[in-house]
Structure 1
C-alpha cells in the first residue's frame, strides 16, 4: 500500500499445507536493499528459491553498475525471471514495493509467469486476495503519513485474513518512508510492528 513518500508491505505469518498449519512465524517479505522489498506468496520452497536467485542477481547488478537497482528495473527482472520458467513455473505471486526516483513509491504485483500489474494505491496477492481487495478499497486514502498507513494496512490485513481459513496467525507489517528515523524511534522495538 502506498502513502505520502512511503509504502507499506504486509503479510500474514501462517505456513500451511492445505488446512494443516505447519508454522506460525513464516517470513514472506524479503529485503533487496534499503528502499526495495519483495513479498512472495505461494509455495514456500519456491518463494525461498526465487528470493535467493533474485538476491544473487541484484548483487551482480550492484557489482557491475555500482548502485542499487531501481524498483522498476527490479520488477522487470522478476518478470523476466518468472517468464523464462513459464513451462515449469515457480508457484509464487510476487509483490514488489520500493521507493524510486525522487523517492516516489512504486508497487506492482505479477502472476506466476511474470505478467505485471502496476498500481498507484495498493496491490494484493495470496489466498485471501478477494477479501483483501474489499478491505483495502474501503480503508485506503491517498497521501497517508506513515503512522496512518501502518494502522490502515494492519487493519486491512487482519480483517481480511480473519475471513480466510488458509491465512492468519497475525501479521507482519513493514513501513519504508523518508522520515523513517522519527517513525523508528516511536517503534524502537521492531517486534511492536508485528501483530
Structure 2
C-alpha cells in the first residue's frame, strides 16, 4: 500500500490589523491575541511594527514569515539610508517591500501585509500587498483573521457603501480612533480569534506616533 507524505511549512496565527489614512494623519490598529488551532499563545502580541519615524508595518499570518520579513526589511532600510544618506520615505518603503515579495514569489511569505505612514507632504498613505508583491495604494485597509467581519463596516463608514447615504465621508482623527475601537469591540463578539486588546497608533507629522491600548474581551 502506497502512503503519501505531504509537507506544509506554514501555520496561520491569528491577528487582525486596520489602517486608515487621513489628510495629515494615519491611524493603525492591531488586536493583541495570538492563536494557533484555537489555542491562545499570547494575549499581548501586536501585529504592527515601527519601521522608522514615519512608517508602520502591518503584517499577520504565519508569525515565522512575519518576523523574517520584518528582520530582512530592517536590514535593507539601513542599507538604503546608508547609500542615499536620507531616511526612507513610506512610498519608497512600499516599493522595497513589493520587490522583496516578488523575489520570493515561488516560495512566498505567508503574510497579509500593508505599510502605513506619511508621504513627503505629511499626508497619510497606505499600501497593501498580495503574497507576490503586487502593490495597491489604499485609503484604508483591513487584513487578518477577522477581516470578513470588519471590512464591510469600514466600507460603510468610510465610503457609505450599503448605506442610505452613499459616498465618501470625511472624518476627523478623533472620530476615526473611536470608530476603530468600536469595530474591534464588535468584532470580538463574533470572532473567537479576536480579543484581549487593541493597540491603536496615531501617526502625525507634528507629534510622531501616539499609542493607546484599549481592552477587549478575554474569553
Whether TM exceeds 0.5 here: the answer is yes
* Number of the residue aligned with 2:92: 73
Alignment of 1:39-54 (within 5 A): 39-54=58-73
Q: Separation in 2 of the partners of 1:166 and 1:61?
A: 37
Relative CO higher for 1 or 2, CA cutoff 8 Å, sep ≥ 6?
A: 1
- What's the TM-score once normalised by structure 1's chain length? 0.87
| Per-residue deviation, 1:129 | 1.0
Residue 123 in structure 1 maps to residue 141 in structure 2: yes
Q: Separation in 2 of the partners of 1:162 and 1:88?
A: 35
Provide structure 2 residue ranges, at least 5 long, that are not aligned to the other structure.
Answer: 1-19, 159-167, 215-219
* Number of the residue aligned with 1:187: none
8 Å Cα contact 2:43/2:196 also seen in 1: yes
Number of aligned residues: 186
Residue 94 in structure 1 maps to residue 113 in structure 2: yes
Residue-by-residue CA offset, 1:100-151 (whole Å, 9 max, x unaligned): 021111102112221222212x111111111111121233365433322211
* Number of the residue aligned with 1:145: 172
Q: Separation in 2 of the partners of 1:53 and 1:137?
A: 33
Alignment of 1:135-174 (within 5 A): 135-140=153-158, 142-174=169-201
Residue-by-residue CA offset, 1:17-60 (whole Å, 9 max, x unaligned): 12111111112111111111111111111111110111110111
Q: Separation in 1 of the partners of 2:44 and 2:82?
A: 33
Q: Point out the structure with max Rg over C-alpha.
A: 2
Q: Separation in 2 of the partners of 1:53 and 1:167?
A: 28
2:39 to 7, 11, 20: 20
Q: Separation in 1 of the partners of 2:114 and 2:190?
A: 21
Provide structure 1 residue ranges, at least 5 long, that are not aligned to the other structure.
Answer: 185-189
Q: Separation in 2 of the partners of 1:157 and 1:172?
A: 10
Distance 1:148 1:115, change over 3 A: same
The structure carrying a bigger helix percent of its residues is: 1
